[in-house]
Amino acid sequence: MLYEKCGIVGIYSPTLFHMLPHALTAAGGVQHRGQQGTGIAIKTKEKIITYKSNGLIKQVFSTNIINRLDKPADWVLVHCRYGTYGNYARANLQPCIVKTKDNDTLAVIHNGEFAATNDFISVLKNKTKKRLKKGLSDTYLFSLVLGLSQGVNWDEKIINCLKNVKGAYSLIIGVNGSIYLARDKFGIRPLIFGKIKDGYLAASETHAFSKIGATVTREVGKGEIVRIDKRGPVSIQKESGRKSHFCDFEWAYFSRPESRYPTTGQQNNKKPSEWLSVSLFRERSGAILASEHPFPEASFVVGIPDSGISLGTGYANTLRLPYRQAVVRDHFDRNGQDRLFMRDDEMRKISKKVLGKLSLIIDARIWKEAVVVVADDSIVRGNVSSEVTRAIFSMGAKEVHWIIGFPAIAHKCHLGVSIRSGEELIATRHKSDPVKIAKELGATSIYYISNIGFIKARLLGKKFVNTTDPKKAFLENGGCGGCITGLYPVTQDGVEYEKSS
């Protein structure tokens, strides 16, 4: 089975207008969530037009293509793809376009990963005579199932279909003159909506809203379905009332520092202006790391761009240590803009690319005899930390200590950020022992933030719920730390944690 995690954006307007450039600019705010392919669906007065190709938004959508496609539209959906497990078939690029049993056309974009996907295959085998194409992604299978759903209108069909769907999903569905926004019952992946001048915007992250001056109204609730059409946004399926399990890796690494999220997972609990920015969250993690693992004797602290910077400044400010941006990102390097792990076929070559994307300031006055504290968001395979450690030592540093803003990642993720398991994860190989991990990376030491410290950084004033089993701390405190603990809100087969425990 092929799965794809991603960034999604949808714009709707009650008055037909040329919205493609707007939609693509907003989608730039979720480009970091998927960098392999881009696709759009535009609903003009007459029909749905689609265009998809491999590459970043700016590579796929040249000015010529934008001019050709930018027709007055009711809605536009944009998808930035991060496909995994070695299959980049263009056929699976989204939006998924499906003709339904009643001859409507559906356009579907998805961020997350469905569980129990064999259920989709059984439904399709039972209800259609056509043979299923090989290598279809989870989202395509879902879209085909949705196309067969029963109901008197699309509100009913979508509600009926999603009742039986498991796993992590944030969806935008375009059909006829409406778009629908839906989120799984635990709210594992983000989805937010708000207003633009002539309509509405929905996107994975608030950063997309800032890019086009849109106002954030609120999150789509857990298990909620919102329809947006001429009547404005209407909640057609209320929140699930289940505990939130928003992905904790979004805070540490996956989301942009400019984005903001509510912290408790309950919609409407706070105004969007009071949501916590990812950047400030990372600063708070740095301050917590400073109390858990202080290094007052450090010569200076350096954060690895981009996601390690706020962590490093939070740490340095708390201990009143000098902070130096002595490792910078080379935006003109071939891989300068990329998240290196996002391509399966390149996996083995990542380590060779790290020091092209990230450059040390080559000046021995900075490094010689220094005790350096390096801050980074997380360690997955350890490519960045081993390459950077080696480079810092080669500049003459005395000691290299890492502080890491996410506890050791020892388990896979099947809920939308695609962390693989087994040999690839350095923490699995060493049973999360930081001494052994430091040894393999060649560093003097490594200090991970504690589970509790990490959770407290996002809880703000909200009370921490104590658990007898520390492994359950993430799930009991409104998050998902499955890649740290191996306990997930829902398994890949669709079994729910709360029901099984």
**Nearer Cβ to ligand 5GP, position 93 or 408?**
408
Minimum distance from CB of 65 to ligand 5GP (Å)?
A: 29
**Nearer Cβ to ligand 5GP, position 144 or 247?**
247
Q: Which sign does the torsion angle of CA 356, 357, 358, 364 carry?
A: positive
89 to each of 34, 191, 329, how far by Cα in Å? 15, 26, 31
Minimum distance from CB of 350 to ligand 5GP (Å)?
A: 7
For the chain, how many residues are written? 501
**Nearer Cβ to Mg ion, position 165 or 354?**
354
Q: Which sign does the torsion angle of CA 288, 291, 295, 300 carry?
A: positive
Site for Mg ion in 387-446 (CB under 5 A): none
Site for Mg ion in 306-325 (CB under 5 A): 307
Minimum distance from CB of 383 to ligand 5GP (Å)?
A: 4
Minimum distance from CB of 304 to ligand 5GP (Å)?
A: 8
Pick what 419 binds: Mg ion, ligand 5GP, none; C-beta below 5 to 8 Å, kind-dependent.
ligand 5GP
Query: Is the peptide bond prior to 306 cis by the omega test (within 30 degrees of 0)?
Result: yes
Pick what 263 binds: ligand 5GP, Mg ion, none; C-beta below 5 to 8 Å, kind-dependent.
none
Q: By C-alpha distance, which of 440, 487, 298, 428 is closest to 375?
A: 298
**Nearer Cβ to Mg ion, position 110 or 339?**
339
**Nearer Cβ to ligand 5GP, position 40 or 417?**
417
Minimum distance from CB of 443 to ligand 5GP (Å)?
A: 12
Minimum distance from CB of 227 to ligand 5GP (Å)?
A: 31
Q: Quick one: which segment of 65-73, 260-268, 300-308, 450-458 binds Mg ion (CB under 5 A)?
A: 300-308
Minimum distance from CB of 192 to ligand 5GP (Å)?
A: 20
β-pairing, 399-404 vs 445-448, is parallel
The whole-angstrom separation of Cα 141 and Cα 398 is 55
Other beta carbons within 10 Å of 140? 23
**Residue 488 CB partners (closer than 8 Å, separation 6+):** 414, 415, 480, 482, 497
**Nearer Cβ to ligand 5GP, position 379 or 487?**
379
Minimum distance from CB of 289 to ligand 5GP (Å)?
A: 16
**Nearer Cβ to Mg ion, position 149 or 307?**
307
β-pairing, 72-83 vs 105-115, is unpaired
Minimum distance from CB of 233 to ligand 5GP (Å)?
A: 30
**Residue 426 CB partners (closer than 8 Å, separation 6+):** 379, 380, 381, 382, 437, 440, 441
Which residues of the shown chain bind ligand 5GP in the complex (CB under 6 A)?
253-254, 307, 341, 377-385, 417-419
Pick what 178 binds: Mg ion, ligand 5GP, none; C-beta below 5 to 8 Å, kind-dependent.
none
| Nearest residue to Mg ion, scored by beta-carbon proximity | 307
3-state secondary structure of 305: coil
The whole-angstrom separation of Cα 390 and Cα 403 is 16
Minimum distance from CB of 384 to ligand 5GP (Å)?
A: 3
The whole-angstrom separation of Cα 156 and Cα 153 is 6
Q: Is 271 exposed, middle or buried (0-12, 13-18, 19+ CB in 10 A)?
A: exposed
Size of the site for Mg ion (CB under 5 A): 1
Task: Give the E-state strand segments of 344-423 in sequence order.
Answer: 358-360, 371-376, 399-404
Task: Give the E-state strand segments of 67-163 in sequence order.
Answer: 72-83, 96-99, 105-115
**Nearer Cβ to ligand 5GP, position 100 or 445?**
445
Alpha helices in 182-332 (DSSP H): 206-211, 248-249, 278-292, 309-319
**Nearer Cβ to ligand 5GP, position 104 or 306?**
306
Mask: binding to Mg ion, 257-296, rule CB under 5 A, as x and -?
----------------------------------------
The whole-angstrom separation of Cα 206 and Cα 15 is 24
Q: Quick one: which segment of 109-117, 130-138, 301-309, 310-318 binds Mg ion (CB under 5 A)?
A: 301-309
Pick what 341 binds: ligand 5GP, Mg ion, none; C-beta below 5 to 8 Å, kind-dependent.
ligand 5GP
The whole-angstrom separation of Cα 184 and Cα 191 is 10
**Nearer Cβ to ligand 5GP, position 219 or 377?**
377
- Which residues lie near Mg ion (CB under 5 A)? 307
